[in-house]
Amino acid sequence: MMAKGKSSKTSGAVSKGIHSNVSRKLTNAMRSDYMKSGQRVINQTDALMKGKDIVMTIANPNKSETSKRFIRVRVSGKDYLARAKNTAAAFAPSESR
């Protein structure tokens, strides 16, 4: 025998949460300001230093793809930290000098 579930206490329609109560112009303006500011680059660098993956948007090196002026490139945080560690070790003063 299955347990009896709780009955719903709603008296009418419930919003699906698909509509924003903030105007689209304001949302787009705030996003534009953030994307232009240097804070985005700082946040991406902080994420990489913590070993988190990020997605960078760069100009498409393949100029024949005119429909895709920019492409998104995934950067692995683990690979970034490993590369940074190897680079730092290469420039570190050695004991034998």
Q: What is the pLDDT of residues 3-32, one digit of tens each?
A: 666 666 767 787 788 888 899 999 999 999
Instruction: Please give the share of the chain, as a percent, with pLDDT higher than 70.
Output: 85
| Domain map (residue ranges) of the chain | 24-91
- The confidence score (pLDDT) of residue 91 equals 75
Q: What is the pLDDT of residues 36-53, one digit of tens each?
A: 999 999 999 999 999 999
Q: Is the pTM of this model over 0.85?
A: no
Res 76 pLDDT > 80: yes
DSSP per-residue codes, 15-50: --S-S-SS-HHHHHHHHHHHHHSTHHHHHHHHHHHT
User: CA-to-CA distance for 73 and 12, rounded, in angstroms?
Assistant: 46
- The confidence score (pLDDT) of residue 14 equals 79
